[in-house]
Amino acid sequence: MTGPSLERAHDILRAQIDAPTAAYLSSCVNCGMCSEACPFFVETRDPKYTPIHKVAPLRKVWRQEYTFTGKLARMVGLSKPLSDAELTEWETLVYDSCSMCGRCSLVCPVGNDIAYMIRKMREGMAVAGHAPEGLIGATKRAITIGSPMGVKLTALQAQIGHVEQEVGLKVPVDVEGADYMLLLSSMEIMNFPEFIGAVTRIFDKAGVSWTLSSEAFEATNSGIQIGVSDLAAELVQRVVTAAEQLKVKSVISPECGHAYMAIRWEGPNLIGRPFNFEVIHILELLDKLHQDGRLKLEGKESDRLTFHDPCQIGRRGGVLESPRSLLHEIAENFVEMPEAGRWNWCCGAGGGVSSNERADELRIKAFNRKKSQLDAVGADAVVSACSNCRIQFEDGLEAYHMDIPVLSLTELIDKHLAD
Ligand code: SF4
Ligand code: SF4
């Protein structure tokens, strides 16, 4: 990177320092407690994976620009400007060793939201040309094709055809005035089409008026993962436009962690206005239908089941009760992992880590934390509500020679639908 480009990177990082970020950076007491909360540090014991260290370039820019001693040190040459080597090194720390799980933010004694700062770092790094190839490719496909995996409408239509044949029901598309518009992740469409079948059967039984949109069926948001707010806003706007054109009352976020965070919590801020519809997670809706007596369930799993909370749905999204309420209905032997719920350990694949091939080895190392949790409860099967977590579990369990099925909670609910 040349001199002017480095200056640009410095300026971009400086622009990311808003009031919360400046407050966090100035209040850090260097206690190191965040390290023991991070699966990437805990499973490697490498100090470079200490969460607060991952934002060191941001801290450097903050010091040089906003503190008296930092300005002075820069003036007399004691504090060097950002170097290309630093940005290259931190690219791997910011993207490969952080799933944006937010666990470190929970433990900080002075309340620093480190995940928020890592997101700020990504904004600067991406614009400065320091984002991983895998995420750049996924983001390009999301913007140009509409899906990070390059899934086109024709592919969705083909999967819908298979699902309709299997379940004997119509999958509604572009139904104006439906109550709910369901989003899907590319992984659900291509890897787990049985999720579409499960939802179709459940909604039919519960009498839910719903539709997919041919204009905006993709739930995932690569703009959030790579850290470019403009692109994230463009992807959110596509969903908002489709939902408003179809005049639906609610948009359903599917079994995908960051998709829920993107549309439910970040969406209105990204596009700069409130939505004309509500956003609900599929598990919240299933729980509500059950509480209202519209979703009747029968039979219970006898296996010892445990639940993995996807970080963006549970800890950061607040959907903690619904999955448990549903699981207690259909599992007679449900067991919580240690540190479940808000304190759950990330599977290691969120925040775009799974789209970044360079991080594959580290991602599997981080999964060892999850393996320890599973070992502690001796579960026969693990249930979750995120396709990305599901694929990470399948990879991780294979890598650690564990033979445990990984189940979708929505699909499990479908299995227990009462006649
Ligand atoms: S957000 Fe999660 S993965 Fe990222 S640094 Fe914090 S604990 Fe580690
Ligand atoms: S836990 Fe908070 S105060 Fe302690 S080192 Fe991490 S960010 Fe700084």
SS3 251: strand
Sheet of strand 210-211: strand arrangement: 210-211, 180-182, 250-253, 278-281
Helix (H), strand (E) counts: the chain: 21, 7
> What tens-digit pLDDT sequence spans the chain (419 residues)?
555 567 777 888 999 999 999 999 999 999 999 999 999 999 999 999 999 999 999 999 999 999 999 999 988 988 888 888 899 999 999 999 999 999 999 999 999 999 999 999 999 899 888 999 999 999 999 999 999 999 999 999 999 999 999 999 999 999 999 999 999 999 999 999 999 999 999 999 999 999 999 999 999 999 999 999 999 999 999 999 999 999 999 999 999 999 999 999 999 999 999 999 999 999 999 999 999 999 999 999 999 999 999 999 999 999 999 999 999 999 999 999 999 999 999 999 999 999 999 999 999 999 999 999 999 999 999 999 999 999 999 999 999 999 999 999 999 999 999 98
C-beta of residue 238 within 8 angstroms of C-beta of residue 215: yes
State which amino acid sits at residue 142: A
99 lines ligand 1 (CB under 6 A): yes
Give the tokens for residue 111. 């309340």
Assigned token pair, 23: 């407050």
pLDDT digits 0-9 by tens, 87-103: 999 999 999 999 999 99
Q: How do beta strands 180-182 and 305-307 pair? A: unpaired
Mutate which of 43, 49, 52, 99 for ligand 1? The one with the most ligand atoms within 8 Å of its CB, which is 99
For ligand 1, what atom is nearest to the CA of residue 54?
5
Q: How far apart are the first and last CA of the chain?
A: 64
Q: How far is the CA of 36 from the centre of ligand 2 (A)?
A: 11
Ligand positioned closest to the Cα atom of 343: 1
Residue 261, amino acid: M
- Please write the tens of the pLDDT for every residue from 279-289: 999 999 999 99
Q: With beta carbons less than 8 A apart as the criterion, state whether 199 and 181 touch.
A: no
Coil, strand, or helix at residue 418? coil
Indicate if ligand 1 lies below 6 Å from the C-beta of 348. no
Is there an atom of ligand 1 within 6 Å of 308 CB? no
What per-residue confidence (pLDDT) applies to 57?
95
Ligand whose nearest atom lies closest to the CA of 93: 1
> In the beta sheet, which residues pair with residue 305?
334, 381
Buried/exposed 227-264: b ≥16 CB within 10 Å, e otherwise: bbeebbbbbbebbbebbeebebebbbbbbbbbbbbbbb
Give me ligand 1 centre to Cα 35, in Å.
9
For 368, the 3-state DSSP assignment is: helix
Q: For a pocket test of ligand 1, which of 24, 41, 52, 101 has the largest count of ligand atoms closer than 8 A to its C-beta?
A: 101
What is the DSSP-derived secondary structure letter of residue 334? B
Nearest ligand (C-alpha, residue 115):
1
Q: Is residue 169 in contact with ligand 2, taking CB distance under 6 Å?
A: no
What's the Cα-to-Cα distance from 222 to each of 54, 115, 133, 201, 351, rounded to whole Å? 21, 17, 13, 30, 9
pLDDT in tens, 242-271: 999 999 999 999 999 999 999 999 999 999
CA of 183 to the centre of ligand 1 (A): 27
CA triple 210-417-258, angle to 5 deg = 55
CB 191 within 8 A of CB 411: no
Count of alpha carbons within 13 angstroms of residue 371, beta-carbon side = 18
- The answer to whether the CB of 110 is under 6 A from ligand 2 is yes
Average pLDDT score over the chain: 95
Q: Which of 235, 257, 283 is nearest to 101 (CA)?
A: 257
Instruction: Give, for ligand 1, the residue of 53, 114, 343 to mutate: max count of ligand atoms closer than 8 Å to Cβ.
Output: 114
Residue pair 247/236 in contact (Cβ under 8 Å)? The answer is no
Residue 37 Cβ contacting ligand 1 at under 6 Å: yes
